[in-house]
Each structure stands twice: as C-alpha cells, then as structure tokens.
C-alpha cells in the first residue's frame, strides 16, 4: 500500500511538470494519471494452473494389481478361483498345489465314493478295526478357515506341508476322506496297517504316501485316502507310485 501511494505521488509530480513545460492540457494529464492509478491499485488475481496429464510410468503395473485384487494363500488372486476349470488327466480329477478347483466346486461327499467308504469301513470292522471318518467334504471357504488356523499355530512354512490352500484341497472334490486317527502314529496301528494293505480293494489309495513328499508337496498322511474306483486304485497301488507319478505329471 505505501509503495502504491508513493508511486501515485511521483506520477502526479511528473504530470504537473509535463503540463508546465509542454503545455499539455490538464484533462489529458488527468486521464493518464487515472489510468496509472487504476493499474497501481489493480489487485493481483492468482490463477490455478491447469491439471497436467500424469506420467504413464508404472500404470501398467498398477492396472495389474487392481485387476488381480487380494491374494489367496496360494499367491493367486481370489478372482482366479472364480474362473479356473477343474483339471482331468486321463479322466482322473487332479487336485494339488499346481492344479486347483473353482471356488464353487462341490457340495458334499461324492455318492459313489461315500458308498465305497462305507464298504471299506464295514470290512475293517469285520477284521477287528475301526476306521471312523474324521473329515470328508470341505468347501473352499471352510478350507481357508482351517488353513489360516494352522498358520496361526505353526506358521506358513510348516502349515504348507500338511494343509492345502483353499481351492487346492482334495477334500473339496468330495472324493477324499480322513479316516481312523489323524496322526502319523496311525500308520503303526493295526487299523493303519490294514488300511494301507486293503484300501485299493475298495477303490481307494493312500493319497500322500511315505517317501513321496517332494512329489505330492505334503507330508506322509496314512489316514488320507482318495477314491479312484477299484480298477484304477489297484493299478496305482501295484505301481508303487503316487498319483502324480502314475498320471505322468510329477
């Protein structure tokens, strides 16, 4: 404000001097002074700069993250399990850490497999052993809850050796059952030995056999049986191979 007043006084003095020397009319000098005074007091209006287009660097990666969404325990997006298709190898449904099931797959135990389980249990009972079903069908969501519970207790690395990620559990097929006693000591019981020797006669295999941990991705589980039908189960049993090896996908 003070600078503006000094500028106006100086301008007035200059105009007065010009009027006296050159004979300019007072009206012309007044108009010029008025114009300069308006300019001196004209407020400065700050303008907001126009938004600039941001760089596209990294946008591709961001699009991938947005499309991918939250990750499941397998490291794949949950959206992956909405569109993945079941994998069949030579007509056999294969589910493991590489081959998944869609989230919506399954609604209970497979009727044929469950009927075969009952025959197996009856035969075991007649032989003097009890093989109660400890676990049957598990949905995607239930398997996720179970897996997360194991992780909370043992951590991810250990849990991955005995618990399947949601979408990668054979229990979701309705063709797999945990029977007898869910403990490694079960293998040394009479019931465990009977199961290992006779499961194939009723269409089942020990899905995760001892010595095949590096192939199946899971520890030895003498209680986990998978239904294949009597003909194929006997072939796999006689081969001494795990299912991945027998199907040629190991």
pLDDT of residue 69: 74
Nearest Cα residue to 206 out of 247, 162, 160, 242: 242
Rounded CA separation 207/198 (Å): 14
Catalytic residue among 109, 170, 221, 244: 221
pLDDT of residue 68: 60
Whats the size of the chain, residue-wise? 250
Which phi-psi region, left, alpha or beta, contains residue 212 (left: φ > 0; alpha: ψ -120 to 50)? alpha
Per-residue pLDDT of the chain (250 residues; tens, 9 = 90+): 444 444 444 444 444 443 443 433 344 444 444 444 444 444 444 444 444 433 333 333 333 334 467 999 999 999 999 999 999 999 999 999 999 999 999 999 999 999 999 999 999 999 999 999 999 999 999 999 999 999 999 999 999 999 999 999 999 999 999 999 999 999 999 999 999 999 999 999 999 999 999 999 999 999 999 999 999 999 999 999 999 999 999 9
Take residue 186 and report the two structure tokens written for it. Answer: 């079960």
221 is catalytic: yes
pLDDT of residue 133: 98
Structure pTM? 0.73
Instruction: Give residues with Cβ within 8 angstroms of 208, minimum separation 6.
Output: 216, 218, 219, 220, 221, 224, 242
Take residue 38 and report the two structure tokens written for it. Answer: 């308006």
């Amino acid at each position: 404000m003070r600078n503006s007043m000094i500028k106006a006084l100086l301008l007035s003095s200059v105009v007065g001097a010009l009027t006296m020397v050159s004979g300019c009319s007072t009206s012309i000098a007044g108009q010029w002074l008025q114009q300069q005074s308006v300019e001196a007091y004209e407020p400065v209006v700050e303008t907001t700069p126009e938004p600039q287009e941001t760089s596209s660097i990294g946008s591709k990666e961001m699009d991938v993250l947005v499309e991918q969404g939250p990750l499941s325990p397998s490291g794949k997006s949950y959206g992956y399990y909405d569109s993945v298709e079941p994998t069949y190898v030579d007509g056999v449904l294969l589910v493991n850490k590489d081959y998944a099931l869609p989230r919506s797959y399954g609604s209970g135990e497979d009727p044929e497999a469950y009927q075969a389980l009952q025959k197996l249990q009856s035969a075991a009972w007649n032989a003097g052993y009890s093989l109660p079903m400890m676990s049957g069908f598990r949905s995607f969501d239930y398997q996720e809850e179970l897996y997360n519970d194991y992780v909370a207790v043992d951590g991810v690395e250990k849990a991955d050796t005995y618990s399947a990620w949601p979408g990668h559990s054979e229990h979701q097929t309705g063709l797999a059952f945990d029977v007898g006693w869910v403990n490694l000591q079960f293998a040394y019981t009479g019931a465990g030995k009977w199961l290992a020797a006779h499961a194939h006669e009723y269409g089942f295999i020990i899905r995760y056999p001892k010595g095949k941990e590096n192939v199946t991705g899971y520890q030895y589980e003498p209680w986990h049986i998978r239904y294949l039908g009597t003909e194929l189960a006997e072939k796999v049993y006689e081969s001494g191979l795990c299912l991945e090896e027998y199907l040629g996908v190991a």
